[in-house]
Structure 1
């Protein structure tokens, strides 16, 4: 605990001591008039009291040391501090508002950049998908054309094969008839010759 007393407390202490001194002064005058009823003071006590009274200056009340003036000073200081607190709170609100505006501006800029990047990536993806679709379409068309040509060639080959089968059958039939004629021809010639001879 500190034994040093602040200015405001010192003023209060001085006022209290002055009040006590006024009562002590009244007691000494009363005790002188009552005479024998009060107890006698020793010489040492009187001397100490006199020395302490001489050492202490009598405090004169001034308007500045009055408790009402002290209260008014404290009230004025409180009002001043309240005004300063209100100003500081207003400045804080402005700073918070500016900070939120700046953050929202940065956030909006980041959002715009993010959207632009997403759109660019989306465009690139769509372009890749479109290119892939075109490539797949071209590949499918190439395969379709090849298949159509193969089917057309297959039909021609089947028709040619069917025609060759007919030609083969016709030739076989002719060859079989000729070989039958050759085999029968000598027999027929003998029969014909013998019929003439007879």
Structure 2
């Protein structure tokens, strides 16, 4: 009995609630917001009694709520009337409304997802574009992402991204400017190092007749005029050059140079001069005798700046002669050494060979030590190969001694071991560099005619 009454009460309450929902007219937007933010219990609690529809009178009459009826009788009556149906909800009930709301929410989510996908594709596209193209893009590209009001982090990200693109573009421009400056610097350096740019320097220095520099000697030369000191030294060097020319001519008659690259250093001891350092080099040049002579003369007579040797004056008063004054810096175990020197050089041209002779006098002012080096060079055609010339160099370095002065053992050891050892290392590097330069310039003479012949063919 009690179970049947409870079931009927629940059925009546459900029918009243469905009737209320069908009769209450609300728009989809407000209902969606209400369903999202409120629970069903909160929805019913917000309804006022005036908004509820009046109950139907037939529904209040409880025909089946008789206390005399038993549970067995009600079940038998239901079996006797099988065609009796329960009340069913209509098609336009709450389930249809809920489906419409769900569809509306799904459609809104799809539109929002499509907008987000559009923004993602735009960000991916801008990520792989070059910096110049991104900076030149119009603001219309970002209209899709700006339909809704962007958040603060999105604005900050876009601002930082644009600033980074500007800095990268500026960095690329600065790097290109730096690379261009390096190219210009290397081009100017190569141009200033060429021999053709320095052609005519002999005439310039020859015209400077008033320029003269004195050679610093170990003795007090403050009372002597610079021209007198240089004149005396140059006279001695000229005599040494003439002597070296005779030695070179005698050597070329009895010895034929071999067409092989050699650079030998020898240390000898002489009774009068003491320790003597000799260099003998042989350099084959793949060119004629005339071309080799011209290359060698330009190599030894043109004014060049070396890191350890600075020339102060270059003059040539006689044909095929040249006079130089220089300051030479040496690295030694005891520190940097500075030597002042004078050089005299002369060229002798013959039918079958060319001979260059040179003599130098150097002074170490700090110790009052004097050194002398003598050199001859011969340029002869090769006996075994045609159109090949051989350049042979003989060089001697020794310390000058004054018979009137008696030097101590320590000074002699310093002069012959420390100073001459540093000079020998510097000279060996110089001769090796000179050999490479002579062969390279001789090779350029050979390559030029071959290239022109190919162009004609």
Tell me the TM-score normalised to structure 2 length: 0.20
Q: Which is helix-richer, 1 or 2?
A: 1
Larger Rg: 1
Tell me the TM-score normalised to structure 1 length: 0.41
Task: Identify the structure with the greater strand proportion.
Answer: 2
